[in-house]
Amino acid sequence: MAKTNYDGKHLTTTHRIKIEKGLLDGESLASIARKITKHPSTVAKEIKKYRYFPERECSAKKLPCLFKKSCQLRFLCDKKDCVKLCKTCYDPSREADCHEICPDYAATVCSKIQKAPYVCNACSKVKRCSLQHAFYSAQQADEAAQDLLVSCRSGINQSPADIALLNDLISPLLKQGQSLAHIYAHHGHEIPCCRRTLYNYIDQGVFTARNIDLRRRVRYQCKERKKATRVSLSAREFCINRTYDDFCALLKKAPSSLVVEMDTVEGGRGNSKQAFLTLFFRNCSLMLIFVIPEKTQECVIEVFDTLSEKLGIQIFQELFPLILTDNGTEFQNPQRLECDRHGVSRTSIFYCNPNSSWQKGMLEKNHEYLRYVIPKGQSLDTYNQRDATRLMNHINSEARDSLNGCTPFRLSLLLLNPKLHELLKLVAIPPDEVTLKPSLLK
């Protein structure tokens, strides 16, 4: 039997989603472990560590005693001269008091949560069962795991004596007006931590020097970091096997694959119903712009269907083998985007991590050219596909330093199928006539 090699890395959100889905489907831990390429004991430990026990609906009614059938206790009641077993004469209506008067009382625990799968996710009796339940949620498990990782690394990793020595060295120099960069350059051999750690210590009030003693710290207001989006299994199911990690793993196997980034551009809040669907070819920086009536799944699918029908399925597969996009609701129907009306596969869709627009940063950066002509907040309802074609021709005709002075249009003629240019009316704009100002579309 071949030995399985496990990577030994932390479980990801995708792994936990698959674990929850496997538990809901009643699969064994070994079967779930094979799907995520982990050891079964890893799955068992994950479930037991992060399962949660919801409060019982009838919490006022105490659970029956675990030793009820074998109980031989006597003389617990208030009746005189009673020699019967307490379980034979005890009033069932007062059974809730057993845990108060009996020293050996132990609540009954369901045997299913004491052995694999350790939870009640797939139990058919869960609605009518009065015992304590246990469930596994990918969302709650991922949040708890992230909190554990943060808490393990938080705090001060220095002894009080080391902190006192650092304070005596750094605080007087900061109060003299020196910067941390200057201090670190001359005393770096005496400081047992990095500069970033020193900023954290000052921010936490570990030293006598404060943020006010730093020359530039109080002049800038730090933006609050966005927290990662935590959503339910049903909302994240479209991402299974289509995450950014899956995308990177596929690129490692086939680094020469053509990658297209996809996004939508909206107008101002409440003043625009139309939107722009943008597609960006990484290999030549060519950007395509399509006007869609609404920012919905149906409109995006319609663009894909039109392109695949007019280009032909083979040319579409050649031009758009891999598409990377965000988690917008308009892209959350990957099965339909990946296949045409007849169910023929035409592309593969992958999704960036939540709040990680840098993962498709080339397209996000290229949107700046679009905003030169249509400022942010302006309505898009006044533009049609003819305007969008004119706009993308001017954008694609501007020479780029990143392309060694070449334009995306010229490079695309060498790298992409020319039928795309013919279909979308892509043409080169003379260098002196390229305009990226609002006057272009007025």
**% of the chain with per-residue pLDDT over 90:** 44
What is the structure's pLDDT at 96? 44
Same domain, 188 and 336: no
Residue 215 inside a domain? The answer is no
The set of residues, in sequence order, having a beta carbon less than 8 Å from that of 227 and lying 6+ positions away, is: 355
**% of the chain with per-residue pLDDT over 70:** 84
pLDDT tens for each residue of 179-208: 677 777 678 888 888 888 888 889 888 899
pTM across the whole model: 0.50
Name which residue leads in pLDDT, 222 or 403.
403
Mean pLDDT of all residues in 354-362: 90
Residue 426 reports pLDDT greater than 90? yes
Residue 171 inside a domain? The answer is yes
When divided into structural domains, the chain yields a total of 3
Same domain, 201 and 248: no
Name which residue leads in pLDDT, 178 or 214.
214
Mean pLDDT of all residues in 380-397: 92
Beta strands 259-266 and 275-281: pairing type? antiparallel
pLDDT tens for each residue of 78-130: 667 776 777 666 555 554 466 566 767 777 778 788 888 899 888 888 888 87
Least Cα distance to 380 among 270, 261, 263, 262 occurs for: 270
Question: Where in the sequence is the domain holding 170, given as residue range(s)?
Answer: 160-209
The rounded distance, in Å, linking the Cα atoms of 343 and 312 is 14
Residue 249 inside a domain? The answer is yes
User: Which strands make up the sheet holding 275-281, listed edge to edge?
Assistant: 287-292, 275-281, 259-266, 322-325, 348-351
Residue 67 reports pLDDT greater than 90? no
Q: Where are the alpha helices (DSSP H) in 257-360?
A: 297-311, 313-319, 334-338
Same domain, 197 and 344: no
Residue 413 inside a domain? The answer is yes
Same domain, 80 and 199: no
Domain termination residue (choose one: 88, 107, 126) = 107
10 Å CB burial of residue 94 (0-12, 13-18, 19+) is exposed
Least confident of 51-65, 77-91, 372-386: 77-91
Name which residue leads in pLDDT, 270 or 117.
117
C-alpha 372 chain-centroid distance = 31
What is the structure's pLDDT at 309? 94
Phi, psi of 252 (to 5 degrees): -65, -35
Residue 217 inside a domain? The answer is no
CA distance to 181, 251, 253, 259, per residue, from 256 (Å): 42, 8, 9, 9
Same domain, 329 and 266: yes
Same domain, 395 and 275: yes
Same domain, 274 and 384: yes
Average pLDDT over all residues of the chain: 84
Same domain, 314 and 423: yes
Residue 408 reports pLDDT greater than 70? yes
Mean pLDDT of all residues in 387-409: 88
pLDDT tens for each residue of 295-349: 999 999 999 999 999 999 999 999 999 999 998 889 989 999 999 988 899 999 9
Same domain, 301 and 355: yes
What is the structure's pLDDT at 83? 67
Q: Which of 55-69, 78-92, 208-222, 402-416 has the highest mean pLDDT?
A: 402-416
Same domain, 90 and 203: no
Structure tokens at 404: 């060694």
CATH of the domain at 358: 3.30.420.10
Structure tokens at 351: 């999704």
pLDDT band at residue 59 using 50, 70 and 90 as cut-offs = low
Same domain, 405 and 306: yes
The set of residues, in sequence order, having a beta carbon less than 8 Å from that of 185 and lying 6+ positions away, is: none
pLDDT band at residue 2 using 50, 70 and 90 as cut-offs = low
Same domain, 275 and 193: no
Does residue 201 come out as left (phi exceeding 0), alpha (psi in the -120 to 50 range) or beta?
alpha
